[in-house]
Amino acid sequence: MAKIALDIDSTLHPYWDLLAEIAQQRYGVALPYDTQDDWGIPGLDREQIVDCVRETHSEANVLGAVPYSGAVETVCEWHRAGHWIHITSHRSTDALGATGKWLEAIGLPFDDLHCSYDKISRCVELEIDILIDDSPINIAGALERGITAATIVHPWNVELVRSGKAIGAADWPELREALEPHLTQSRDGR
Ligand SMILES: [Mg+2]
């Protein structure tokens, strides 16, 4: 069986539209998805970004997220097959309650939930086999530690997918198919 770590924002649900809407409302700055081809956000300083991200993780926003089509079904299938599901989100522990409620509301099964800013070290501790995460930083961190990295393709991670370093898919049904061989042969044959 494999140990799978799953990011939430831009992995389990579309996140960018919400962040862009908040940046527009608060600071009048447009964050076009299509040209967001790296991890930096021009036009906002660090404090403003933190402010916008914090608002995306308000209880109402967390609970209002709509999962990508096929995401819940796929994770249900993995969980039924006996794979261990660790949900890991780069968000404050204050958001843990709402995040758990949201996962329950959408019917996504998990064995462990972690909201923190130490995602990769936690994955190492838990001996995660596969990290599904859109962040180029987390993908690189996982790869450095021998963890297979996979993602829904976004403009900011498409290069990592094109280079063959990360497994990429346009949507969840495609991701499920791409990960199939990795789930039947996890790192240490669990
Ligand atoms: Mg993410």
Mapped onto helix, strand or coil, the DSSP state of residue 84 is strand
Together in a domain, 125 and 37: no
For residue 88, report the distance from its CA to the centre of ligand 1, in Å: 9
> pLDDT category, 151, cuts 50, 70, 90?
very high
For residue 14, report the distance from its CA to the centre of ligand 1, in Å: 9
For residue 53, report the distance from its CA to the centre of ligand 1, in Å: 11
- Number of domains the chain is built from: 2
For residue 28, report the distance from its CA to the centre of ligand 1, in Å: 23
User: What's the pLDDT at 2?
Assistant: 96
User: What's the pLDDT at 40?
Assistant: 87
Q: How far apart are CA 132 and CA 37, in angstroms?
A: 19
pTM here is 0.94
Taking alpha carbons only, the member of 176, 182, 144 closest to residue 160 is 144
Together in a domain, 119 and 78: yes
Q: Is the pLDDT of residue 99 over 60?
A: yes
CATH of the domain at 88: 3.40.50.1000
Q: Which of 63, 79, 98 is the last residue of a domain?
A: 63
Q: Is the pLDDT of residue 92 over 90?
A: no
Q: Identify which has the larger pLDDT, 118 or 174.
A: 174
Query: pLDDT digit string (tens) for 12-52?
Result: 999 999 999 999 999 999 999 999 998 888 889 999 999 99
For residue 162, report the distance from its CA to the centre of ligand 1, in Å: 19
For residue 71, report the distance from its CA to the centre of ligand 1, in Å: 14
For residue 186, report the distance from its CA to the centre of ligand 1, in Å: 23
In a domain, 189, yes or no: no
In a domain, 110, yes or no: yes
User: What's the pLDDT at 185?
Assistant: 61
For residue 181, report the distance from its CA to the centre of ligand 1, in Å: 24
User: What's the pLDDT at 116?
Assistant: 84
Q: Is the pLDDT of residue 1 over 80?
A: yes
Q: How far apart are CA 190 and CA 186, in angstroms?
A: 7
Q: Is the pLDDT of residue 147 over 70?
A: yes
For residue 132, report the distance from its CA to the centre of ligand 1, in Å: 9
Together in a domain, 77 and 35: no
In a domain, 20, yes or no: yes
* pLDDT, mean over the chain: 94
Mean pLDDT along residues 139-161: 97
Q: How far apart are CA 77 and CA 27, in angstroms?
A: 42
The boundaries of the domain holding residue 172 are 3-13+67-184
